[in-house]
A = this chain, B = another copy of it.
């Protein structure tokens, strides 16, 4: 097997025991080569471009720049590389931020080395390596609240409001009168127990009504 067929892996992880353990296990696996490992983003920054890894395993809890912020910078330094986050704790906000910054996967550290390896293979073959619990979390961010107190029309209007549209625009789009929009808005405020557009939009997002 030639070098170019090997999956090139870089590890950024401050716990040196973990780092070397992963490195040794992954490197000894046929088909994988660990091209580099670092204990912080700062340490990796100068060389990661030349390392040209296929996959970067990136710890969340790093000294210096956090893993979540490092994603953005790594994506610039080596755009071809796919970044997989490693973490012990799964905080919803962190997961979503890492993903929005460009990470492709998210693994908790309690997984077996076999799963780790198959996750790396998943990345390379076009999939998404997510631990089960994290995948559920991600999918649930899509789920709308099925017990919405709002009627369909009210939801529709609130959605248009959340896009920055005013009464006039909403009225045009729905072919109803501006005053009608207004009374719908009143009813929305009543149900959501709020008193302004901003509050309504925020509450609706919190309750996943849109």
Q: How many copies does the complex hold?
A: 2
The answer to whether the Cβ of A150 comes within 8 Å of any Cβ in the partner chain is no
Contact status of A146 and B72, CB under 8 A, knowing A126-B136, A130-B128, A132-B126: yes
Q: Which residues of B contact A163 (CB under 8 A)?
A: 198, 201-202
Closest to A101 in B: B144
Q: Interface residues of A: mostly helix, strand, loop or mixed?
A: helix
With the chains together, A169 CA to B72 CA distance in Å?
A: 29
Q: State the Cβ distance, A205 to closest chain B Cβ, in Å.
A: 8
Interface residues on A, range: 35 or more
Contact status of A75 and B146, CB under 8 A, knowing A164-B162, A165-B198: yes
Contact with B along A69-94 (1 / 0, CB 8 A): 00010011000000000000000000
Contact status of A128 and B136, CB under 8 A, knowing A101-B144, A146-B102: yes
Q: State the Cβ distance, A188 to closest chain B Cβ, in Å.
A: 13
The answer to whether the Cβ of A135 comes within 8 Å of any Cβ in the partner chain is yes
Q: Which residues of A come within 8 Å of B, CB atoms?
A: 72, 75-76, 96, 99-102, 104, 122, 125-128, 130, 132-133, 135-136, 138-139, 142-144, 146, 161-166, 169, 197-198, 200-202
Would you list the 6 A-B pairs with minimal beta carbon distance, nearest first? A127-B132, A128-B135, A99-B142, A164-B201, A164-B198, A164-B197
